[in-house]
Structure 1
Amino acid sequence: MRIDPSESACHPTGDSPATIVVLGIGNLLWADEGFGVRCIEALQQRYEFAPHVELIDGGTQGLYLIQFVQAADALLIFDAIDYGLVPGELKLVRDDDVPRFMGAKKMSLHQTGFQEVLSLAQLTGKFPKQVLLIGCQPQELEDYGGSLRPVVKAAMEDALRLGMEELDRWGGNPQARSAPLSQRESVTVDELALAAYEIQRPSPEAACREGDERFFPSEVS
């Protein structure tokens, strides 16, 4: 696991933010693109936070996320970022650089939508005072129904550590969870939680992930 040295997790924050939003974006159904949402899921399962910290499964909601960005004094984002790095490598980007970075090389429609959210928040003058993007280079995206590849799954632990350090500096008061989550509290439904999602995935043959020969017949010689 290597973290891009261009950004350090150490960053002076000044006053503690009044509202902290932790946002994971991406699509669970396309392998490594689910990285951001899986980070949010893991944070919620393992930790409790101060009342002014909100964890959001942003999925692929695009402009629907504008209200959360505008309301945040500090915004922590987890996402899979295709920026030509080694698979599993993390890159940290901060503050006004985040919209420019996410708009430089979009790998999916969800990033197009979220880059627009950040730009709109800047235009309305309601952009968070502090922003940290923790991005992970994906290994595989073209696998519908697939889960995180091992190198990206392993990178989650470093990403979560960096995120927790930042939340602690921001005054988010992370503590080990004292009681299990109820189904109503969970950001992901039980069927889509990481363990269940991986166990219940059907084989390639059953799921026709590589195409159904009834509709893609072999060429007649």
Structure 2
Amino acid sequence: MKKLLVLGIGNLLLSDEGVGVHAVKALMEERWPDDVDLLEGGTFTQDIFYIFKNYEKLLVLDCVRGSNGPGTIYRLSEDDIIKDESQNLSVHDIDMLDSLRMAELMGHKPQMRVVGMEPLKIDWDMEMTDPIKKVFPEFLEIIRQEIRTMLED
């Protein structure tokens, strides 16, 4: 069993909604330890539960709607997503929780964390907006830090 799956989710056709996929694609250009896999999940988060059985931990990269401005970066645990009903998260997070439940029914559920960014615009456009592009390098660095932390745990 591998230690960590880094899963970028979102829709590249909807501007800032694709920030998680853009992030995982950028991270795929870097070297990672053998016990880390990076995967573009797109928007099919409910259909990939069978992959989770191969990992101890799961790091999801996604856009997250919170109460702060565009470009705000969030670090969330699975408990944060379940407990904070006032948090207006992406639709993917609900599908992701369903996938985790299905993986648990199959006998193994990885520990999940989410690193997300507040979008400015979710509309037809393949480019991220300027405020998101500006914060994107910081987003990647926080993801790298989270990967290191998850590997050490």
TM over 0.5: yes
Gap change, CA 1:60 and 1:103, over 3 Å in 2: farther
1:92 to 64, 67, 75: 75
Looking at structure 2, the residues matched to 25 and 80 of structure 1 have their Cα atoms a distance apart, in angstroms, of 8
Q: What is the letter of the counterpart of residue 37 of structure 2?
A: E
Looking at structure 1, the residues matched to 19 and 85 of structure 2 have their Cα atoms a distance apart, in angstroms, of 15
Structure 2: gaps of 5 or more residues: none
Query: Does the aligned pair in 2 maintain the 1:32–1:139 contact within 8 Å?
Result: yes
Query: Does the aligned pair in 2 maintain the 1:102–1:115 contact within 8 Å?
Result: no
Which structure has greater helix proportion? 2
1:82 to 65, 70, 73: 65
Task: Indicate the percent of aligned positions where both proteins have the same amino acid.
Answer: 26
Gap change, CA 1:120 and 1:101, over 3 Å in 2: farther
Q: Which residue of 2 aligns with 1:136?
A: 117
Query: Does the aligned pair in 2 maintain the 1:37–1:59 contact within 8 Å?
Result: yes
Q: CA RMSD in A?
A: 2.5
DSSP-derived class of the 1:34 partner: helix
Query: Does the aligned pair in 1 maintain the 2:100–2:110 contact within 8 Å?
Result: no
Q: Which residue of 1 aligns with 2:21?
A: 37
DSSP-derived class of the 1:22 partner: strand
Q: How many residues align?
A: 152
Query: Does the aligned pair in 2 maintain the 1:102–1:111 contact within 8 Å?
Result: no
Report deviation, 1:123.
Answer: 4.8
Looking at structure 1, the residues matched to 85 and 28 of structure 2 have their Cα atoms a distance apart, in angstroms, of 25
TM-score, normalised to structure 2's length? 0.84
Looking at structure 2, the residues matched to 162 and 39 of structure 1 have their Cα atoms a distance apart, in angstroms, of 11
1:26 to 6, 10, 15: 10
1:90-135: CA deviations, max 9, x gaps? Answer: 1111243345559953544x44422321333345552213x32111
Q: Which residue of 2 aligns with 1:61?
A: 44
Q: After superposing the two structures, state which structure 1 stretch, 23-32 or 86-95, moved more.
A: 86-95
Verify: 1:145 aligned to 2:128, yes or no. no
Which structure has greater strand proportion? 2
Structure 1: gaps of 5 or more residues: 1-16, 173-221
1:29-64: CA deviations, max 9, x gaps? Answer: 00100000000011112x111122110100011222
Gap change, CA 1:101 and 1:118, over 3 Å in 2: farther
Q: After superposing the two structures, state which structure 1 stretch, 58-67 or 21-30, moved more.
A: 58-67
Query: Does the aligned pair in 1 maintain the 2:65–2:87 contact within 8 Å?
Result: no
TM-score, normalised to structure 1's length? 0.60
